């Protein structure tokens, strides 16, 4: 930490620097996002390139990729909010910030629905139903483990 004279000083215990950890989390989020994009692309390519996407083996492979996609999305959401907990000061919760946060969660939720809709386009009804159930479980987990703690933290730690 740099003091007012421009010299480095030791931080007190109350002012520990978490910037390295925050950068690590941001790197992890970037990696999870790339893996999610790759997984979404793999699902799309498999659906369009497989000779018989309705075979059990194909559907199990697609289901495995769906689980990876949703798990990575959940982890990216969770880690994205976790960095906020290490900020010393949090700006006030304005309407603009609240709308942006709500749109972020809504965007993830709606993007997750793209996969079951793709399955429906290829007449994979049962796989689509299973995927929607997994998607709902992930949305519930995000609500319980990410959004509610975030709201509680924002209400408690706003300037």
Q: What is the pLDDT of residues 128-155, one digit of tens each?
A: 999 999 999 999 999 999 889 888 888 7
pLDDT at 94 (0 to 100) = 85
Which conformational region is residue 9 in: left (phi greater than 0), alpha (psi within -120 to 50 degrees), or beta? beta
Domain boundaries, the chain: 18-156
Fill in the DSSP letter of residue 157. Answer: S
Joined together, the tokens standing for residue 134 give 């997994």
> How far is 137 from 122, CA to CA, in rounded Å?
24
Q: Is the pLDDT of residue 12 over 80?
A: no
pLDDT at 48: 94
- Would you say 83 and 22 are in contact if contact means Cβ atoms under 8 Å apart? yes
Q: Indicate whether 15 pLDDT > 70.
A: no
- CA within 13 Å, CB half, 17: 8
> Over the stretch 83-113, which tens digit does the pLDDT of each residue have?
887 777 777 888 998 898 889 888 888 889 9
Residues 6 or more apart whose Cβ sits within 8 Å of residue 14: none
Q: Which of 36, 43, 40, 158 is nearest to 91 (CA)?
A: 158
Predicted pLDDT at 157? 73
Q: 86 or 37: whose pLDDT is higher? A: 37
Q: Which of 37, 73, 66 is nearest to 146 (CA)?
A: 73
Question: In angstroms, rounded to a whole number, what is the distance separating the alpha carbons of residues 106 and 149?
Answer: 17
Average pLDDT over residues 26-34: 91
Choose the most confident range, by mean pLDDT, from 23-32, 46-55, 102-111: 46-55
Higher pLDDT, 12 or 36: 36
């Amino acid at each position: 930490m740099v003091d007012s004279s421009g010299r480095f000083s030791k931080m007190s215990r109350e002012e520990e620097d978490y910037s390295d950890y925050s950068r690590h989390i941001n790197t992890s989020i970037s990696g999870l996002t790339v893996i999610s994009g790759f997984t979404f692309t793999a699902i799309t390519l498999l659906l369009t390139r497989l000779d018989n996407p309705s075979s059990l083996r194909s559907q199990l492979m697609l289901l495995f990729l769906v689980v990876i996609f949703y798990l990575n999305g959940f982890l990216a959401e969770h880690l994205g909010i976790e960095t906020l907990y290490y900020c010393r000061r949090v700006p006030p919760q304005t309407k603009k910030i609240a709308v942006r946060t709500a749109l972020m969660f809504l965007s993830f939720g709606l993007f997750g629905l793209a996969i079951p809709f793709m399955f429906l386009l290829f007449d994979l009804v049962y796989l689509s139903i299973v995927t929607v159930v997994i998607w709902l479980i992930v949305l519930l987990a995000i609500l319980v483990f990410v959004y509610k703690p975030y709201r509680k933290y924002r209400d408690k730690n706003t300037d």
